[in-house]
Structures are given as structure tokens and as C-alpha cells.
Structure 1
Amino acid sequence: MPDSPLLTAAAVAVIAMAIAVVVAVGLKVLRSFRELGTDAERATYKTLHAASRAGQHLRTGLNPAGAAKASRQLRGLLGCDALAITDTTGVLAWDGAGEELRPALMGLAAKVLDGGPTAVIPAGELQPLAGRTLTPDVERAVVIAPIRAGARVVGVVAAFAPAAGAGLVRATGEVAGWVATQVELAELDASRTLLMEAEVRALRAQISPHFIYNSLNAIASFINTDPVRARELVVEFADFTRYSFRRHGDFTTLAEELRCIDRYLLLERARFGDRVQVSLRIAPEVLSTVIPFLSLQPLVENAVRHGLEAKEGPGHISITANDSGAFAEVTIEDDGVGMDPEQLRSVLAGHSDGDHVGLRNVDTRLRQVYGEDNGLVIETAPGEGTLITMRVPKSQPRHDA
């Protein structure tokens, strides 16, 4: 056929283009593979990635749900046939083959749980120690390493493999040490939570004697002269105390805290009259920001008690809340008597008891929750009033109001 050379040429062209595409794709894949680094770098990344994923599951300490998920990642790190995690009372998780040995593991780990060193049981010795007949495919060696949290052994990591070489022994010990670190971090988080709760209880105790006594006296003064006002103040007092002494949650919203402050100031104005003047400027977009419970009210109380109460004549408190990028910024400013900066530093460092304890408690809690760089910023001087600034992240996925 006359056009066969043309068809042949077209076919060759198509084949050439296909080869070019394949080569281009291959080069791209090869290039992306090289970007992953050397074999050692890829192995390091794989190890760190597995450790990171396992750490997420141990964030709440040693418990069956977290241990079961972490054990899968940790078995991959060790490359063993099976991996088990226990606490001091029983097996929390078992991943891999040989679960026939699960009932015997606590007995095998008894000496390690009592404070002994890592135990290595060769494959030939495991069967009689397990107290049962094992099929040949179940016969394995086991390395049992203690999980030490401080001076305590809180559990073990047990790795099962055909043989227990020096590499497996060292690696199992390192994994157990890493698990111990996660347990200690979980315990630290729990301690921090308890400390925050203690700080909140301290703030409630601070509110209780001073403020309640004065508020009830102020309400009593209106019973005969203005009973309607007295009833209104009783309702405000009940709402304030209900909020302040609630038993659930370490966090609230900025809007809820501002409502609490409004009730507090209504009660204080009933006592001080026109001596306490207040202005607010609140950006609506930050009202839903989550903040630690009772973190603003003590700052306003500090402004009233230590700023304006000792001042002659009227005093002014300004409360603002603004959107500052990733943060909500709240300021509380008074034109009261102020205080000596050195005394303030002593209060915040915990070297001075009594007055201004609310400032120290709030500052401590903010640093515990958001980091050392996120405490209160306080500007003050004798006779110059006080300006307190608090910045909190607008996005806090782990904190529920």
C-alpha cells in the first residue's frame, strides 16, 4: 500500500513518544526517591515517624486502648514476631503471633516488675517456664525490659523473636525507656491538671470571704430603702457565686467570663456607688475565645480592691478585648494607686503572700497552659495605676469550654 510508509512512520513516532513519557515519569519518580535521602536517612525517618505515632497513643499513660495502638508501631520498630506491653497488674496489649504465651507473661515478668533488670529467656527455655506445651512455630525467645517511671517499675515491654541477640536486647531496653518517658509525661500532664484545679480552688477561696461578706452587707443596706434593688442584687449575687463555684471544666469562654465580671461589678458598684466607673470595648469576634476559668475576674477584682478602693475619689476601670491575629488580647486598666514594680515581681515569683495572690495565680495558670512566654504583662508604678494585658490563642483544639 502506498501509505504504509506513512503509517509505519506514525507508529514509530507514537512509540517514541510513549517511551519518552515513560522515561520522563521514571526520572521524576527517581528524583523524588532521591529527595528522600540515603537509606540511613529513610530508616531514621521511618523510626521517628513510628515513634511519633506511638507516642500519640501513650499520651494518657499506660492503658489498654493506648497500649494496643502503640504496640503495633513499636513492634515494627523492633522487627520482632510479637510485642506485649503490661502494667503491674496484667497484660495491656499484645501485637503479633504467639498469643498462646499471653497467660504466662506476667509470671515470666514477675522479677522484672519487682525491680529486677531486663530478662532474656532463650527459645529453648521458654516452653517449661510457660508451663505449657508449645507448638514448634510458637517456640520463641523473649526479652522483657522494665518500664521505669522515676524509681518505680510501672510495667514491661516484652519482645518475642526466634532468637534474642544483643541487638534485640538493647533495642527492647531502649523502647521500654522511651515508653517510660511517655508515661512520665502523661503523669506530668495529670499533675499540671491537678495544680490548675488547686489554683482555681485557691481563687474561689479568695473570692469567698472578702467579696461575699461585703456583697451581703451592700445588699442588706438596700433592703429597707430600696427592696427592688435588693432583690435584683440578690439574683446577681446568686448568679455570680453559681458561676464562680461551678464544679465542671477548667476553661470557659471570654463571653462567659465577661458576664461574670459584669455581675461582680454590679455588686461592687452597689457598695462603692459612683466611685467605680467602668468602660468596656469588646470585639465581637473574640467573644467565643476559650480562656482558663476565672482568669479575668481576679484581675478586675485586683483593680477594684488594690487600685480603686485605696484611692480618694472616683476611679475608672477600662476593659478591652481585641482580635490580635492568632491571639485574643484582653487588657484591664485602672487609674488607681498602682504598686511598686519590685513588689509586683516578688508577688509573681511567689515570694510574697497575702495581697495580689489573684494576680500570681492567674499568671501561673496562663504559663502552665500556654507556655512560659504567655503569662500576664503588667505595667504599674506607685500613683500611676495598673495596666494588665493577657493574650490567649484563639484556636485551642484541646481545650473545651
Structure 2
Amino acid sequence: MDNIRTAAIVIAALVAAAVFVRWRLLTRRRVLGSPADRATYETLHTASLAAPALRRGLDAESAALALPHVRTLLGGPIVAITDLHDRLAGDAPDVTELTADALASGRTQASDRAIVAPLSVEGRVVGSIAVVTEEASAGLARATTEVARWMSSQLELAELSESRTALMEAELRALRAQISPHFIYNSLGAIASFVRTDPERARELLLEFADFTRYSFREHGEFTTLAEELRSIERYLVLEKARFGDRLRVVTRVAPEVLSVTLPFLAIQPLVENAVRHGLEAKDGDGTVTVVALDEGVECVITIEDDGVGVEPETVRDALSGHTTSASVGLGNVDERLRTVYGDEYGIVVETAPGHGTKVTVRLPKFHPGAESA
């Protein structure tokens, strides 16, 4: 649904750009080079200057930053930007009534000297742009309407980004709540077992536990680096080895080139906990967890594999579809967050069968504009 909505927004922006080009061709004198090429460049360049402010949402600061570029797109008349209640930027006198009509009707309103077009997000009117000129022509009215549509598409992208951030934060809180009790109880129990027999070992484990929980429950940043995530995984496995003893073997192989890759916070750690908790705890004898991170061109490929008891493929499908199961700690949560950030072509792939262990593969783009570490 988000991909379809984003595609619609892009199409609307391209249509608006075409209208801008025609308007600029009609209103500007010829310059060196092809008029069409020059008008296209100037229009798209001006739009690109206004877009970053609008993608922050509609407020006084973003309106003030976008206003000069919006005025340029419309050929330089007096322009004001409003929300539903107040003028945010610019000075367009004597348009109060037109603005009220545009906000109420959701349609462009015009008089002899003024034009007001509504700004909307997902069908909701959120503000307007008002244009005052010596003579309000039909061409200017059409251009104002298309500029307003383009501005609305940028504001909608801002709201989608905000919604995505809120969703990821909620999913992260849910993941923490799901992981923490089981691991905390087991870790503290393991540390307590060393207090009398090996106090120095207990002290070291307590410091590892403090560092692990500090990372896992930090309150800032949706993203982290693979290096930071792997350090947290190392602490987790040190604590689990204290509990399992020689029963747990750990193998890691990481390409240095991928350590700086940015990824969603707690995207790999829950998968390692799954390998220990559901792969090895129920297995008789020794078990091995293998963590590999490889550099594959424009992608980083991470695998977490255990030689534990495995699970039924149907159980994995249920977990990935969002159903709560006892056989997965946050499996669906991690998959959903990866797809939210990178798209449906990413996410996790699980290979498993009863008695044959489990292998989870995560493919990540090494560079992605929507992923920035704190």
C-alpha cells in the first residue's frame, strides 16, 4: 500500500512539473539554449530546493523556507502559505474570504486579483497557498493549483515518514518487551551462580550484562551500525555461554567492509537469541551458533545458523505473517521493520526443518537513504 501511495505521489509531482514547464515557457523570455530545456531545468531545480522544507511537514519554519521557491515557481507574485488557522509565511492581503472558502471546499478559489489553492494530505485539507497579482489569469490559476498539488505531495511524504517512524518505534518497544524478561532472568541467574565460587567472573559478567542492557534499551535512534549490533551480540553470547558452559559453541566470520553498514536497531540480535533459545535450549548435548556477515557488492548478507532442534516451516510462516508464537522471539517484528525500511524485496529468509537446525538470512543494501545511524 505504501509503495502504491508513493508511486501516486511521484506521478502527481511529475504532472505538476510538466505544468510548471508550460507556465514558465509562457511567462519567461527566451534565453541561451533550448527554451524547453532551460525551463525544465529551472522548474525542477526550484522544486528540488523547496522540497526538503516541505517534507518536514507544514509549520512556520518550513513554510518560510519553502516560500521563496514557491514564489519563483509561480513567476514572482505575492504569495502566502497558511495552515488551517494562521498565516505561516508571506504576506497576501485581502484574501481572508477566499482562503476560508478554499479551506472549506477543498477547491481553488479566485477573484480578479487573487487565487487561493488548498493544500491537502490524504484527502484532508491542511492549509493553502494564496497568490495576489495585478491580474489573476486562468493560466496563473492553473499553475497555482498544480503547485499546490505538488506541495501537497511533499507534505504527504512528510506524514508518511512520520507514520513510519512512529510505527518502527512502537514495534521496537514491543520487541524489547518480548525479549527482555526471559534473557534478564537467565542472565542474572547465571551471574548469581558465580558470586561465591568465582567473584571475579561474576563481576565481569555483570559488566557485560550492564553494557548489553544499556545498548538494548537505549532511547535514541532507529538505526545502528552492524559493528555496534555485533558488539551487543557478542555480549549476549558471553552471558549465554556462562549459562550453557561448554555446551554452547560460537563461530563468527565478519568481513571488515560491512562493519559500517547501517541497519535498523535490534535487527540481528533477536535472530541470534532465537538460535540459542529455540534452537539449542531443547537440544541434548552441544550446539553451535554461527554468525556470518559478508560483503556482496552493493549488499551485505548476514546469516545466523544453529544446529539445534529446528521447527516446522509452518510455524515460521505463522511468525512471519505476524501471528504470535512461542517458537519465535520477534521474528515477524524484525521482518516487518526490514521491509518497512528497505522494501518488500528485503526482509528475512528462514530455512528450517525439525531435527535439522535453522538458518536465517538477512540481505541489506550497504547504502540506503532512509537508514541513518544515530
Name the TM tier (shorter chain).
0.7 to 0.9
Partner of 1:91: 87
Alignment CA distance shift 1:396-1:149 (3 Å) = closer
Partner of 1:372: 344
1:326 aligns with 2:298: yes
Alignment CA distance shift 1:354-1:51 (3 Å) = farther
- How far did 1:279 drift? 0.8
For 1:191 and 1:222, how far apart are their aligned partners in 2? 46
Q: Residues 273 and 329 of structure 2 are in contact (CA less than 8 Å); yes or no, is this contact kept in structure 1?
A: no
TM-score by length of 1: 0.78
TM-score by length of 2: 0.83
For 1:218 and 1:251, how far apart are their aligned partners in 2? 30
Alignment CA distance shift 1:200-1:64 (3 Å) = same
- How far did 1:340 drift? 2.3
Deviations along 1:160-212, whole A, 9 cap, x unmatched? 22222333223322222222221111111001011111111112111221111
Partner of 2:100: 110
1:222 aligns with 2:194: yes
1:62 aligns with 2:34: no
TM alignment of 1:74-89, pairs within 5 A: 74-89=70-85
Q: Partner of 1:219: helix, strand, or coil?
A: helix
Q: Residues 95 and 114 of structure 2 are in contact (CA less than 8 Å); yes or no, is this contact kept in structure 1?
A: no
For 1:160 and 1:374, how far apart are their aligned partners in 2? 49
Partner of 1:13: none
For 2:47 and 2:36, how far apart are their aligned partners in 1? 16
- How far did 1:78 drift? 2.8
Partner of 2:273: 301
TM alignment of 1:222-261, pairs within 5 A: 222-261=194-233
Q: Residues 340 and 381 of structure 1 are in contact (CA less than 8 Å); yes or no, is this contact kept in structure 2?
A: yes
Partner of 2:4: none
Q: Partner of 2:338: helix, strand, or coil?
A: helix
Deviations along 1:225-247, whole A, 9 cap, x unmatched? 22222222222111111111111
For 2:224 and 2:89, how far apart are their aligned partners in 1? 37
Q: Residues 253 and 289 of structure 1 are in contact (CA less than 8 Å); yes or no, is this contact kept in structure 2?
A: yes
Q: Residues 275 and 313 of structure 1 are in contact (CA less than 8 Å); yes or no, is this contact kept in structure 2?
A: yes
Q: Residues 149 and 181 of structure 1 are in contact (CA less than 8 Å); yes or no, is this contact kept in structure 2?
A: yes
For 1:184 and 1:119, how far apart are their aligned partners in 2? 22
For 1:212 and 1:143, how far apart are their aligned partners in 2? 63
- How far did 1:115 drift? 4.5
TM alignment of 1:7-156, pairs within 5 A: 33=33, 43-44=39-40, 46-94=42-90, 99=91, 101-102=92-93, 105=95, 108-115=98-105, 117-122=107-112, 141-156=113-128
Greater RCO, 1 or 2 (C-alpha within 8 Å, sep 6+): 2
Q: Residues 80 and 161 of structure 1 are in contact (CA less than 8 Å); yes or no, is this contact kept in structure 2?
A: no
- How far did 1:305 drift? 0.9
Partner of 2:332: 360
Q: Partner of 2:330: helix, strand, or coil?
A: helix
Amino acid of the residue matched to residue 252 of structure 1? T
Amino acid of the residue matched to residue 64 of structure 1? A
- How far did 1:357 drift? 4.2
Partner of 1:399: 372
Structure 1: gaps of 5 or more residues: 1-31, 123-140
Q: Residues 80 and 160 of structure 1 are in contact (CA less than 8 Å); yes or no, is this contact kept in structure 2?
A: no
1:208 aligns with 2:180: yes
Q: Residues 91 and 106 of structure 1 are in contact (CA less than 8 Å); yes or no, is this contact kept in structure 2?
A: no
- How big is the alpha-carbon RMSD for the aligned residues of Structure 1 and Structure 2? 2.4
From the CA coordinates, give the structure whose radius of gyration is larger. 1
Q: Residues 307 and 337 of structure 1 are in contact (CA less than 8 Å); yes or no, is this contact kept in structure 2?
A: yes
Structure 2: gaps of 5 or more residues: 1-31
Identity of aligned residues (%): 58
Q: Partner of 2:169: helix, strand, or coil?
A: helix
Amino acid of the residue matched to residue 61 of structure 1? G
